[in-house]
Amino acid sequence: MSQVTLTNVKKVYDGKVTAVHDFNLAIEPGEFVVFVGPSGCGKSTTLRMIAGLEEITSGTIEIAGRVVNDVHPKDRDIAMVFQNYALYPHMSVYKNMAFGLMLRKMPRPEIRRRVDEAARMLGLDQLLDRKPKALSGGQRQRVALGRAIVREPKVFLFDEPLSNLDAKLRVTTRTEIKNLHQRLRTTTIYVTHDQEEAMTLGDRIVVMSAGYVQQVDSPLGVYRRPVNRFVAAFLGSPPMNFLEGTLRRDSGIVFQGAGVRLRLPDAPGLAAALDKPVVLGFRPSAMSERQEGKFQPPPGFARGDNALRLRPKVIEPLGEMIDASCETDTGHRVIARIDAREDFPLNQPVDLYLDMQHVHVFEPGEFGRNLILAG
Amino acid sequence: MPAPATSPRRLTLATSAIFLALVVLGLTFVIPFLWQILISLSSLTDVDLLSQTGFPPVLKPGNYPLVFEKVDFAKYFFNSFFVAGWVTLLQVLTSSMAAYAFSRIAWPGRDKVFLLYLGTLMIPGVVLMVPNFAVVLALGMFNSYWGLIIPGAFTAYGTFLLRQFMLTIPPSLDEAASIDGAGHWRIFTQVILPLARPGLIVLAIFSFLGNYNSFFWPLILTKDDNLRTLPIGLLAFDSTYGRETPLIMAGSLMAMIPPILVFLFLQKYLVRGIQLGAVKG
Amino acid sequence: MIGSARKRLLIALAFLLPNLLGFIVFTAGPVAFSLVMSFTDWALTRHNRYSDTAVQWVGIENYQRVLVGDEAHLFWDYFGNTAFLMLGIPLGIAGSLALALMLTALPAPASTPRRARYALLGIILTLLAVAGTWLLTTPGPPPDPASGSELLLRSTETGLTDLTRYDVARLRSNAAVLAAAAAGLVATSGLAFGPMFFRGLFYLPSLLSGVAMFLLWKTLYRPEGGLINAGLAPILGWIDLAARSSPPLLWHIAGIALAAATVLAALFLVIVGLSRLIHRDSGPASFVGRLAIVATMLAVGLGSAYVLVQLPQRSLLPSGRAPLSQSSLSTVIDRLATDLPSAPPDALRRAAAGLGDTPRTTDAISALTAAAGDSAADRAAVTRAVLDAAPLVYEGLTSGDGLQPPLWLVDARWAKTALIIMGIWAGLGGGTMLLFLAGLSNIPPELYEAASIDGATGWSRFIHVTWPQLAPTTFFIVIMSTIGGLQGGFEQAMVMTQGKADTIVLAYYIYNIAFTDQFQLGLASAIAWVMFILIFAMTALNFRLGSQMTGD
């Protein structure tokens, strides 16, 4: 039995604006699920509906097998960590963590025990008497975590908890949250707009846009097998390259357009889209200067069939790799992340070889389907 | 030891000139009150000499107790404190509850009702005096403490001020408290009120000072001497004993002390409150 | 948003109820009630529980009575008074802004030790000033009572207190020491606490805005024995002396020059304003503001010019001098023997004898100058000698014919000005200044840095950075002061003049009609509504002009 189940959940504001359309998801006990998407995609609204902070327009939400549509947040057995931490400024760290337990009339020694344990786990033991104002951003974040932990809820809800921290702290806290989850094994729903956070934290990722769920899959699943152009574009940094063109039948199926020509592996979805406008997509890391390993042409392809002739314009060295910003003959831009070398030539045509396993073809439009998967 | 950060403390010509101007201007604020003190310590016959000598020939501190003998000044003091205190208490209570409803709960029609509140802020107090007088008369509160206290206990202004203040408290705090298991009354008393404390103090100061100095309403509403607040008592004192300037000055000086004390202890809240009141809704 | 809409509404109502009830009964209801009342003839003297007379619906009769009927002139007079008093508003706002700028420019002493050092320094300086003042002014040991000292001051009112020259010197010394101590304390506190102290000090009158402060100012404004006229008398005396001891032509030329300069400057400002308006460099709002400045400038400049031209024509003398006695006249003549050796003593003595027993100072000066030779230099010397010898008994401002200080609250020509001056004093450091301070502190420092890199300093910095950035604050202040000004002025008039000397304002009118004159609540409501409409119109106008000023 799943821990949290959302069935046909819908949210309409003021009878006009639909924030979430028909959301369906079943979350297993102990699972770490991340909702990710650009701002305004409905991910926070969904989380807040699970928490009971927003009313559900239609559909049902179940927590541990109980329909909670009309259950007050305090009775849903959840705990939430807010983006701005929502620590009570007038209460000490101890009181902040204990407040919820006190309201539940838990005996004092038990409260003490739980708070002390959580504080030890989070390294807050020395700070229990301080007010939130006297804490650093990272410490406040940990108090917010502690407040959720002491409740020992069935579900943790995180609403962009790291977005107020600086880059370095964000990475360490991310690891801490992951550790915590591995220790406590509490079902967790985590909302973020940061795709890197989503990839590193989640057991499963729910990619959302414009109120719709675009894809639900494991981190590598959504990264490697994006079901549509939106998911492909949203995940990965630098983002996936997209070139517009058409599919033709030549020696096999060939993509042509934006100044490039590329033979594609046979796939049923592609055959159906012949002579129609499509969008070619491949990640910067799916390219190499050397035609070896996974960058060799697949069986049946001629040598060089998987090559793109590009003109590097700007390079950004990253250390082991470089990001080369290149142009096709028609001036369309392609970013390539390739092995670094000192004497990389600029403004001269160079052949870069694609890993054909990771080349995608989408229907046109922002949400165009992935034709290779569709087949 | 690191050298302490040096702030620019060069006494430039410009700052010195400004300082000097401020001191001179400051004296024009101090001297009237000094003058008042000197007159209040003069004997009646010396008052006119003061403009020539600048100092009373004979000091008469006995003027102060004399004020209490001539009129029931202690009663005026009590009335002022009693009325201003009750109005303040009730106003803070009702305004903070209303402000909670306006700032923390989303209910249908909220913005329309609030707009109505806001709209009445534009109506001059004088327009309200006449009908309010009729209302108080009809309620049988004329010439009573009730009439002095109750109409002042519910203000749109206080509600507006506290709403502005409460809007600065992040809504996620209520949500966190709600998940923690708190109901509205508990969120109000244990989360919002403690956080809105500076706002409550501001409103309390405004309300207390305003009602302490209030003139028009007690003037039209009180008939009996033993209901008079300080301003009305002073006015009556002046019209009865107007020639006795030292006593008038002693009385008004004493009436000035409570607001000054309030200011000395709470000035940071007051300054903030005035600036908050200017924030557009 | 927890819970259903219905439930939220119920909870909200529970929280709102106490306030809402009061709001309906004492605010919203009365507004509607008042409007209805204004169309009735309701008067408490006629319609009460002891009489059967029914309240009549009279339509717009009340409004007609107020605005166009036989009594309409009352309303317009009182409206004029209100408008006159409101002239203080722009002056007050400008003053508050200047004060806020000064306070912002003053650096706050940073650390507690430095504060303590400043305080110590200030206390030492204060003690030095006090000691110095005392040494300079103290009259020394009292004179031998046997020698009989000259009676100098006598309270004319009761004649109870007699003071010798020594007593007066001693009391004045006390006053001087007190003043020095006050100045020293203000400076010390200013040094130690910086702008914070001044802010508090200037805010003081706003705290006390009430009957107590009005009573204080009523005392200050007393024509005789009030602090203000006591301070003005010597100043007017010096002006008088200057006017008497210099050729009249000089004053004429100065007056005409001032008038010409004022008119030229006003013309220049208007022309610049017009050209900006035509070239759309600035909107009508700033042109209106400019016209207001020009009007104020013309009034002050031409008024001063008139006074300058008039000065020598009048036989001007400071008042406040008693009639001379023959013994004091002989002191004058003794002194003139050394001051004016050229003057024939006999002629002086004859002139003095011809003056009678108690000649007025004016007459004495004229007669003695004539006897001394009648040159301007003689005149000055004689005037000095006479003024020094004349006892300081207050003879009242209505006697004598010198430059008279105004009678302030007693005089219909001056009462409103007196109220304006008091209003500016009381409001200078009040809420307006605090709002300006907040506005100033909200101006991002980068703007000033950018402006100073662009080469803006002083005035141009103010015009191009400070003033535009303050526009929303100023706008808010102007609106609130206008609203306050239109409905204000009742309390001060009630306490200080009892409505005499042409100080009745609209609020006072309403009070009179509603609560003293037959309790005509219907009529009073009508006046209140007319006032409300005026306020509304003014606010709307302000918004129109202001949106051009702040609009971006």
Using one digit for the tens of pLDDT, what is the confidence trace for B96-126?
999 999 998 888 888 888 888 888 877 878 7
Please report which helix (H) or strand (E) contains residue C550, including its range: helix C521-550
Picking from A51, A90, A103, the nearest residue to B194 by CB comes out as A90
Note whether C256 and C302 are within 8 A (CB). no
- C1 contacts in A (CB within 8 Å)? 53-55
Residue B280 has pLDDT above 50, yes or no: no
pLDDT at C402: 58
Mean pLDDT throughout C205-233?
Answer: 85
Q: What is the pLDDT of residues C248-285, one digit of tens each?
A: 788 889 999 999 999 999 999 999 888 888 877 767 77
Q: Are strands A4-13 and A17-27 parallel, antiparallel or unpaired?
A: antiparallel
Alpha carbons A364 and A245: distance in angstroms, whole number: 10
- C514 contacts in B (CB within 8 Å)? 129-130, 133, 220
Mean pLDDT score across all residues of chain C: 80
The Cα of C438 is separated from the nearest Cα of chain A by a number of Å equal to 24
CB of A229 less than 8 A from some CB of B: no
Token pair for residue B86? 């009750």
For residue A201, the Cα-to-chain-centroid distance in whole angstroms is 9
pLDDT at C312: 67
- Per-residue confidence band for B276, with pLDDT thresholds at 50, 70 and 90: low
The Cα of A163 is separated from the nearest Cα of chain B by a number of Å equal to 15
Q: Using CA coordinates, name the residue in chain C closest to A74.
A: C2
Token pair for residue C373? 């030779």
- B179 contacts in A (CB within 8 Å)? 51-53, 73-74, 78-80, 100
pLDDT at A1: 59
CA-angle at B171, arms to B166 and B174, nearest 5°: 95
C3 contacts A53? CB cut-off 8 A: no
CB of B12 less than 8 A from some CB of A: no
Note whether B155 and B91 are within 8 A (CB). yes
**Is the Cα dihedral C512, C517, C522, C526 positive or negative?**
negative
Helix (H, G, I), strand (E, B) or coil at C428: coil
Exposure string for A220-255, b = 16+ CB within 10 A, e = fewer: eebbebbbbbbbbbbbbeeebbbbebebeeeeebbb
Note whether C499 and C35 are within 8 A (CB). no
C491 contacts B215? CB cut-off 8 A: yes
Q: How far apart are the first and last CA of chain A?
A: 33
Q: 10 Å Cβ neighbour count for B242?
A: 12
**From A5-19, A237-251, A352-366, C305-319, the region with the lowest mean pLDDT:** C305-319
Q: What is the pLDDT of residues C31-67, one digit of tens each?
A: 888 888 889 888 877 777 677 777 788 888 888 888 8
For residue A45, the Cα-to-chain-centroid distance in whole angstroms is 16
Q: Between helices B110-121 and B73-104, what is the axis angle to 10°?
A: 150
Helix (H, G, I), strand (E, B) or coil at A188: strand
CB of B184 less than 8 A from some CB of A: no
Q: Are strands C151-154 and C162-164 parallel, antiparallel or unpaired?
A: antiparallel
B105 contacts C15? CB cut-off 8 A: yes
Q: What is the pLDDT of residues A317-360, one digit of tens each?
A: 998 999 999 999 898 999 999 998 888 888 889 999 999 888 99
Chains B, C: CB contacts within 8 A come to 333
**CB < 8 Å from B in window 199-228 of C:** 199-205, 207-213, 215-220, 224-227
C25: exposed, middle or buried (C-beta count within 10 Å: 0-12, 13-18, 19+)?
middle
Mean pLDDT throughout A156-174?
Answer: 89
B182 contacts A74? CB cut-off 8 A: yes
Q: 10 Å Cβ neighbour count for C345?
A: 15
The Cα of A51 is separated from the nearest Cα of chain C by a number of Å equal to 10
Q: Using CA coordinates, name the residue in chain A closest to B105.
A: A53
The Cα of C313 is separated from the nearest Cα of chain B by a number of Å equal to 29
The Cα of A80 is separated from the nearest Cα of chain C by a number of Å equal to 15
Q: Which of B6, B13, B22 to mutate to test the interface with C (most CBs of C within 10 A)?
A: B22
CB-facing half-sphere around the CA of C236: CA atoms within 13 A: 20
DSSP C83-138: HHHHTHHHHHHHHHHHHHHHHHHSPPP-SHHHHHHHHHHHHHHHHHHHHHHHHHH-
Please report which helix (H) or strand (E) contains residue A246, including its range: strand A241-250
CB of A13 less than 8 A from some CB of B: no
Q: What is the pLDDT of residues C122-139, one digit of tens each?
A: 899 999 999 998 888 887
What's the DSSP call for residue A355? -
Neighbours of chain B (3+ CB pairs under 8 A): A, C
What's the DSSP call for residue A65? T
Neighbours of chain C (3+ CB pairs under 8 A): A, B
Region of B237 on the Ramachandran plot (φ > 0 left; ψ -120 to 50 alpha; else beta): alpha
* pTM (predicted TM-score): 0.79
- What amino acid is encoded at C429 in this protein? G
